[in-house]
Chains A and B, each alone.
Chain A
Amino acid sequence: MTIAELSPRVGSGEVSPVEIVTGCLERITARRDLNAFVSVQADRALEDARAATAEIAAGRYRGPLHGIPVSIKDLIDVAGVPTTAGSAVPPLHPEADAPVVRRLREAGAILIGKTNLHEFAFGTTSDETAFGAVHHPLDYARSAGGSSGGAAVALVEGMCLASIGTDTGGSIRIPSAACGIVGLKPTFGELPVVGIVPLSTTCDHVGPMTLSVEDARILFDALRASAVKKPAEAGPFTFGVPTGYLLERLDPEIREALTTVRSQLSRAGHAVTDVAIPNAQSTPDIYLHIVLPEASHYHAATLESDPSGYSPGIRLRLEMGRYLLAEDYVRAMQLRARLAAAVDAALRQCDALLLPSLPVVAPILGATTVDLDGNPEPVRAATLRLTQMFNLTGHPAIAVPAGRNRASLPIGMQLVGERNRTDRLLAIAAGVERQITVGFGSVGGGAG
């Protein structure tokens, strides 16, 4: 059940936060094998649920998140709870909540626990982690995506009603697509990343993962501490499908799904057109030369003093970043600005870009390559291919479920909007959500 569906029943007193939290805690216990959580704050959550129940009964209902359990990626500070970042490196011990956490509490949300992730958010499969690989809820042998893999699993399995993730190259959208949920990466800088362990300070974003676009809007309202102005326009919209690099290598079933979605949108009265993004193929090189040194900068002291806590692969990637030349970092930053201008130009031809969130379905845990149109491609490169561009350019992007493949694994589509117009992107996504999921449906049972 979505937050939008459940919250009126909470507000009316028909359903109590204690019931909801108890149900979530039971599901967490029942599926510990999925490794969705690093830590569960059960006692505090129940205490907060009892307080919320009393507050609502006394007529002090705060709004749609009041009494709703939310999970927090364990990269984000929660006062009094260690921030592990999924690593065996000694954790941080924050005394204060990150601003996004504080805003959720102010909206009445109940923090149920901290979710597992790819170590330091430096990967897309959530299997390099000190807390056990995160398993896909539909296929135990597969990855749930990453780096916010535990956040996606927690939501799909009904362990919470929303999750907060972070996204530096696709870490909200990739697990959302892999698990069949909605994941929003807002415009760069729109939500504060203070109190969040950085991966790349110029690419890091924080955002919600939810069961519907409407729920994403509810969370986004709370996270930015102001209501989203709902644009009056309801379409029809023009969608631009990028030509060239972004879509040249797709799993055949993902390509088929994109064709189906194009038809569904056209039949619903929207326009769908091809758009070019010049030099899009340079995205991975630009990304690498920015994210590597920025990540290495944060970790440099620990790499020198005690690197033993890092997983071997993470340590090597962080060390690699220390060798990059400053001139190539500046070169990448300048090329990044040109790429952002190219995306801006593409968005002048349409209301939103439309493309898959992932070129493949959830990869097998431990696989080093995936097959794309008959060619093996490294898992990390393949899974970042369709999302990382918008971390570089800062455009808001949202992953929405778009059915399943023949093996019943979820497929996600991605919509990308104008910078600083996340509110409009949410309105567009809400307008098409049902049109591109007809006949498919989401994965999980949800809570409540």
Chain B
Amino acid sequence: MAVGLTLIFGVMRVVNFAHGDMMVWGMYLAWLLATRAGVDPYLGFVACAAVLFALGVLVQRMLVDRIVDAPHEMQILLMLGVALVLENAALVAFGPDPQRVRSPLRAATIWIGPVFVDVARLVTFALAMALTLVLYLFLQRTDLGRTMRAAADNAYGALVVGADVRRLYAVAFGIGAACVGAAGALVSPILPFQPAGGLSLSVASFNIVIIGGMGSLPGAFLGGLLVSLAESLGAVFLSPSMKELVSFSLLIVILLFRPAGLFGRPAT
């Protein structure tokens, strides 16, 4: 989830405010697949990723592309608009009530050493790790991946050496969206989701990415682990409804003291 956001920012320097809402759509797609087609989300996430990839490319091509050079305020407003549309389209399509996806794996639990673990969470975790690894390898080993990293470092230079930067941007955005679509699907059996949840997911993503550093993939990964840890601890020591308070307070503190994060590059 965070990895996707950081990819989009790193390559394009555009902040995707609609990130959380895209994830919600990923969740709903998984739900649709599960309820209408009987596909388990742990398999269906691929389809969710694919659909969201297409959505990402579409959004990028039609909208974001036009304002890549515009002042930041415009980019922010644009993505805010997209977020609004996505969130409320979900509201209209699926209704406001929380949903959950049933997976046959949900009920199973196993013992790992001294700890009682939910199989569903384990599979989610494993798949998420695997996907992150795949993405990492993609960026490091493949030509397309390397070109993307080059464009992230220096868009003009990449243009000069012949990279089709616009296509790169579309792909990067698409991959970012795909990540989040997959994430949504993978998480759908575990967490209840509703259209209004888009914002808190966006905030969580931003938290993670800002801690780990905007534009840094290892940062996003580490950031994800750190933030989840913090939130879990928060939920244990404070009442659950204050959990959100923790993440917002965390965001404020991070913004003030370390906006570049642990590994990141500062935003222009």
Binding between chains A and B: no
Chain B residues engaging chain A, CB cutoff 8 angstroms: none
